[in-house]
Chains A and B, each alone.
Chain A
């Protein structure tokens, strides 16, 4: 009798233990970036190397413009949180961005604008959701932030953001493949390394 009860309990306990997938996904990442400060290319205030880009769509519906602005605001929120090594704040930004995308009024888009938006919508939403769901795994948030940055760049280059946006690049991000991000400020605060290497990066473009 005791054996049967014990057996039943083992079965139940196993069932509950078997499926905790979140903790399975331990990001085994080791950047080894300490002591590398000296070799980093620092941002320099050299205007000659800065390309100026104008948003390509001239007439944007005010509602659309406002939604894009919100997406960019949440993006900046995530960027700032990641540069502060704050996965929880980044997750809040991700959730907020996903909510804006879910309610985006696509009917006001022109055909050309819809093409651009549709190319990025599904992908961007997934990155927002991943960042929103992984507050305990900042490495994973940063992986998705690389791709999110590319989507948001495409949108900003099309629709504009209602304010100047800087496009920065750090050659050491993504295991030395290099990766870009957008910022509302000229100053470099690297979202991929945070305090490990906050100043890695150079501003390449300003998008107006």
Chain B
């Protein structure tokens, strides 16, 4: 009995040390880049309704305005979230949209329409926790219609 208790105590201590140790995994810099003149809202007309949908459902992973929840300061959550956010930003950053070559801007909007129509964005692991980021069909068509109209105005030779 006493022996069993001892193994348990050891296990717990090892686990505790592990949890403490992973806290030393460095966290990536956050929301560092400027969000000025290159933001999509500065370069193109983004109606308020569209902007508020993007903000609640996409900006956490696709802008320089990520709102980090409290548990994002705790490893290993921080590491996993960084993965999503850095990859998401790398794919599409609404605050740096204006720095993309025009063809890339045009095609990012096409991808946005595809992703929404396939319901592949926002990521499911995100809407699991952020319920208000789940988009209704009306919200989806509001975004895709805005995106298509914006593309039609772009001066691009394909």
B103 interface hit (Cβ, 8 Å): yes
A79 to B52, CA, bound (A): 39
Set B76, B101, B118: member contacting A27, Cβ < 8 A: B118
Q: Is the interface of A mostly helix, strand, loop or mixed?
A: helix
Chain A residue nearest to B113 (CB atoms) is A143
A102 interface hit (Cβ, 8 Å): no
Set A2, A5, A18, A147: member contacting B15, Cβ < 8 A: A5
A103 interface hit (Cβ, 8 Å): no
A48 interface hit (Cβ, 8 Å): no
On whether the beta carbons of B12 and A4 are closer than 8 Å, the reply is yes
Contact residues in A for B11 (Cβ distance below 8 Å): 5
Contact residues in B for A47 (Cβ distance below 8 Å): none
On whether the beta carbons of B103 and A151 are closer than 8 Å, the reply is yes
On whether the beta carbons of B80 and A123 are closer than 8 Å, the reply is no
Contact residues in B for A24 (Cβ distance below 8 Å): 120, 123-125
**Interface-located stretch among A55-63, A88-96, A114-122, A187-195:** A114-122
Centre residue among B11, B125, B157 by max chain A CB count within 10 A: B125
In the complex, which residues 71-119 of chain B have their Cβ closer than 8 Å to any Cβ of chain A? 76-77, 80-81, 83-84, 87, 100-104, 107, 110-111, 114, 118-119
> Would you give 21 A-B contacts (Cβ < 8 Å), ordered by A?
A1-B8, A15-B76, A15-B77, A15-B80, A18-B125, A19-B81, A19-B84, A24-B120, A24-B124, A27-B118, A28-B118, A28-B119, A119-B101, A122-B100, A122-B101, A123-B103, A123-B104, A126-B104, A127-B107, A151-B103, A154-B157
**Chain B 1-41: CB-based contact to A (< 8 A → 1; otherwise 0):** 00000001001100100010000000000000000000000
Contacts A25-B120, A154-B158 known; 7 new A-B pairs at CB < 8 A:
A12-B76, A20-B125, A21-B83, A21-B125, A24-B124, A119-B101, A123-B103
Which B residues fall within an 8 A CB radius of A? 8, 11-12, 15, 19, 76-77, 80-81, 83-84, 87, 100-104, 107, 110-111, 114, 118-120, 123-125, 157-158
Set B12, B87, B120, B123: member contacting A1, Cβ < 8 A: B12
Number of A-B contacts defined by CB within 8 Å: 68
In the complex, which residues 1-58 of chain A have their Cβ closer than 8 Å to any Cβ of chain B? 1-2, 4-5, 8, 12, 15, 18-21, 24-29
Set A5, A118, A151: member contacting B12, Cβ < 8 A: A5
Contact residues in A for B107 (Cβ distance below 8 Å): 123, 126-127, 147
Centre residue among B8, B84, B107 by max chain A CB count within 10 A: B107
Contact residues in A for B158 (Cβ distance below 8 Å): 150, 154
Contact residues in B for A20 (Cβ distance below 8 Å): 125
Set B103, B114, B120: member contacting A26, Cβ < 8 A: B120
Contact residues in B for A19 (Cβ distance below 8 Å): 80-81, 83-84, 125
How far apart are B109's CB and chain A's nearest CB, in angstroms? 11
Contact residues in A for B123 (Cβ distance below 8 Å): 21, 24-25
Contact residues in A for B118 (Cβ distance below 8 Å): 27-29, 139
A1 to B31, CA, bound (A): 40
Contact residues in A for B101 (Cβ distance below 8 Å): 118-119, 121-123
Nearest 5 interchain pairs by C-beta: A19-B80, A24-B124, A123-B104, A25-B120, A123-B103
